[in-house]
Amino acid sequence: MSRLVETIKVDDGKLLNICYHNERMERSLKDLFGMEGEVCLEKIITVPQSAMKGVYKCRVIYNEINTEIEFIPYVRRPVKTLRIVYDDNISYSYKFTDRTKIERLMDQRGGSDDILIIKNGMVTDTSYSNVIFRDKIGNWVTPSTCLLKGTRRLNLLKNRIITETDIRVSDLKYYNEIRLINAMIGIGDSEKIQITE
């Protein structure tokens, strides 16, 4: 089985949204390995002096036996266009390091920056982020059929900044804006994105 990963945003030495990463790591260890117990990433992560200024990506790579931690300076990849791709069998409910199926779908992106994955007619995620849509009255919604329940997505749902709804590929015309969100990208961090088929 592939190892799992938690990607945590570190801003000026501070680990962000850590409680949601703890919850997801606990759930993954329990579901996949039958391991019970509380995860406290704050106790196992020591932010190095080199990551105390600026934005870093902290990657916690783990399985039931080993945990590795690495810090990488964060450089946001601009995404302005998404290509719709279809895969009715894709599954990514746990954040595995093995992304072979997603990488195969990325091969279909053509000249677009990323992909918007459609499963059984329903909007899910991009290759590396959840998506949110702004409707015509200004409300932000996220697909209830996402592949991976991201930590930023969960935070925004719990704080009632976004709501979940079913979004079919045929519904995309009802939204006037799409943005990407993940542990590293907040609601105001991405540009307006075009979708192509």
- Write down the pLDDT at residue 61: 98
Res. 46 pLDDT band, cuts 50 70 90: very high
* Residue 163, domain CATH: 3.20.10.10
| pLDDT (mean) for 158-167 | 97
Mean pLDDT of 18-43: 96
Annotate 122-137 with DSSP letters as a single string. EE---SS-EEEEEETT
Domain identity same for 63 and 108: no
Q: How confident is the model at residue 191 (pLDDT cuts 50, 70, 90)?
A: confident
Amino acid 111: pLDDT: 94
In what side-by-side order are the strands of the sheet with 14-15?
14-15, 4-11, 55-62, 67-73
**Per-residue pLDDT at 31:** 97
The predicted model scores a pTM of: 0.93
Name, in order, each residue with C-beta under 8 angstroms of 185's C-beta and a sequence gap of 6 or more.
Answer: 76, 129, 152
Q: What CATH number should be reported for the domain holding residue 11? A: 3.30.470.10
Q: Do residue 93 and residue 23 come from a single domain?
A: no
Q: Look up the domain containing 62 and give its range.
A: 4-73
Q: Say if CB 190 and CB 138 are below 8 A apart.
A: no
Asked whether residue 80 carries a pLDDT value surpassing 70, the answer given is yes
Residues 35, 121, single domain; the answer is: no
Residues 192 and 177: beta-carbon distance below 8 Å: yes
Same domain, 125 and 180: yes
Same domain? 21 vs 53? yes
Residues 86 and 17 in one domain: no
Q: Is 190 found in the same domain as 96?
A: yes
| Domain end marker among 45, 73, 101 | 73
Helices 151-158 and 18-33, axial angle in degrees (round to 10)? 120
Give the pLDDT band of residue 188 (cuts 50, 70, 90): confident
Q: How many domains, the chain?
A: 2
Q: Which of 73, 107, 122 is the last residue of a domain?
A: 73
Within this chain, do residues 106 and 169 fall inside the same structural domain, yes or no?
Answer: yes
The average pLDDT across 102-115 equals 96
Last residue of a domain, one of 39, 57, 73: 73
Same-domain status, 94 and 51: no
- Give the other-Cβ count within 10 Å of 20's Cβ: 20
Same domain for 94 and 46 = no
